[in-house]
Structures are given as structure tokens and as C-alpha cells.
């Protein structure tokens, strides 16, 4: 299986603990530095045991950071949201495939990496898509949807569809009590929570 460690590092550093929409047009250098430190630590975490064993590994690490910071630069310049996020995800996916051989003996195995990518694809990446398309406000965290889809991913991937349904019901109940105002995300979220784990379950056999 291909080790998409760079793709995972990019997705985690940009979407899991950061709302990249908040970087749009940002002029405060302190916020950029704060984000940059986080990015460096995450990329290091997913490649520390393999990338520094060879000159090519070090070069790939530097290139990956450079590409990530270029994407951030476009955000600071307030460029098109859809273009930036598409460029970053597609670009890092291709970049990861090219350098996947560097992670063949990684402590973080390719299979585990793919499982983590599945969790990112079911949780924070849909939230970013919702923001770009206007289904959510640009600075909305959508914490209940992320939690709902993550729980569904874990349960359905493990073959327990009933607990997956229970997680979807819990998400709906939460929205009814605390959100109240209907949003298409209410039904899109559980649909994603079902489809994505089934796809990754087929990929990771």
C-alpha cells in the first residue's frame, strides 16, 4: 500500500486543528508564525523516523514544507478558496505518491496512514468543503458534525452499522436541541459518514 504520509501531514496541519479560512487575508505575522510552527511539528511527526536517513528524504521534507507554505501564502493573499484547497489537496496527493517509497519502513505504516487519512476525509475535509460552498460560515467549527462523522467512521469501518446509526441519531438530536435552524449539512453529514468509511474499508483490505 502507498504511504501517503505527506498528504496526511498536510491535511492534519491545515484542517484538523486549524481553520484555514481564518488565514484568508491575514496580516498578523504572529498568527502566521504560530501556524508555521504547528505545520513544522506535524510534518516532523509523520516523517521523523525515515526522512532524515537520506539526502533525498531531507530534500522531500523541505519541498513539502515549501509547498505547504506556498499554499498558505496564497491564503494570506486572499486568493480563490476553491482553487487554493483543490491545489493543495491534489498537489500533496501527487507529491505523496512520488515520495511514498521513502516511508516503506516507517513506524507509521502505510495501512495505518490510510486509516488516518480516512478519518481526515470523513471529518475535517468535508467541513472545509461546507465552508467553501457556503453551507457553513467561513469561521464555523462544525464540531458536532466532525464528531458525528468520526464516530460513524470508526463504527462502520469496524462493521458495527448499528452503532454508526446511533452516532447519526445522536448528531441529529444535538442539532435539534442546540442548532435548531435547519441546514443541508444536517443530512449531508451522516451521508458522508456512511459513504467514506465504506470506501476506505474497500481500500484497506
List the chain pLDDT tens, one digit each, 205 residues. 788 999 999 999 888 877 777 667 666 777 778 888 889 999 999 999 999 999 999 999 999 999 998 988 888 776 677 888 888 899 999 999 999 999 988 989 989 999 999 999 999 999 988 988 888 887 778 888 999 999 999 999 999 999 999 999 998 888 888 877 788 888 899 999 999 999 999 988 7
Q: Is 151 helix (H, G, I), strand (E, B) or coil?
A: helix
Q: Which three cell numbers stand for residue 1?
A: 500500500
From the list 113, 11, 10, the residue with the least C-alpha distance to 66 is 10
DSSP string, 70-105: HHHHHHHTT--HHHHHHHHHHHHHHHHHHTGGGGTT
Distance spanning both ends of the chain, measured CA to CA: 10
Is residue 14 within 8 A of residue 43, CB to CB? The reply is no
Q: Which residues of 118-132 are buried (b: 16+ CB within 10 A; e: fewer)?
A: bbbbbbbbbbbebbb
User: 91: buried, middle or exposed (CB in 10 Å: 19+, 13-18, 0-12)?
Assistant: middle
Residue 42's pLDDT is what? 93
Residue with cell 435552524: 181
Residue 1's pLDDT is what? 74
pLDDT tens per residue, range 72-83 = 888 877 667 788
Alpha carbons 66 and 62: distance in angstroms, whole number: 6
Q: Which residues of 59-70 are buried (b: 16+ CB within 10 A; e: fewer)?
A: ebbeebbebbee
Amino acid at each position: 500500500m502507498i504511504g501517503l504520509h505527506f498528504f496526511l501531514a498536510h491535511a492534519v496541519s491545515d484542517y484538523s486543528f486549524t481553520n484555514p479560512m481564518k488565514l484568508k487575508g491575514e496580516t498578523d505575522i504572529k498568527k502566521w508564525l504560530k501556524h508555521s510552527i504547528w505545520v513544522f511539528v506535524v510534518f516532523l511527526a509523520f516523517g521523523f523516523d525515515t526522512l532524515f536517513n537520506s539526502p533525498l528524504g531531507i530534500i522531500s521534507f523541505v519541498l513539502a514544507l515549501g509547498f505547504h507554505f506556498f499554499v498558505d501564502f496564497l491564503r494570506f493573499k486572499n486568493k480563490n478558496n476553491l482553487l487554493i484547497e483543490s491545489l493543495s489537496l491534489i498537489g500533496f496527493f501527487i507529491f505523496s505518491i512520488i515520495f511514498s517509497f521513502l516511508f516503506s519502513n516507517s513506524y507509521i505504516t502505510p495501512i495505518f496512514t490510510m486509516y488516518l487519512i480516512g478519518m481526515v476525509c470523513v471529518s475535517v475535509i468535508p467541513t472545509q468543503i461546507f465552508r467553501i460552498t457556503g453551507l457553513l460560515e467561513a469561521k464555523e467549527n462544525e464540531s458536532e458534525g466532525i464528531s458525528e462523522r468520526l464516530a460513524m467512521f470508526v463504527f462502520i469501518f469496524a462493521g458495527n452499522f448499528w452503532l454508526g446509526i446511533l452516532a447519526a441519531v445522536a448528531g441529529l438530536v444535538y442539532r435539534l436541541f442546540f442548532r435548531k435552524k435547519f441546514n443541508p449539512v444536517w443530512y449531508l453529514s451522516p451521508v458522508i459518514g456512511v459513504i467514506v468509511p465504506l470506501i476506505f474499508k474497500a481500500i484497506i483490505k
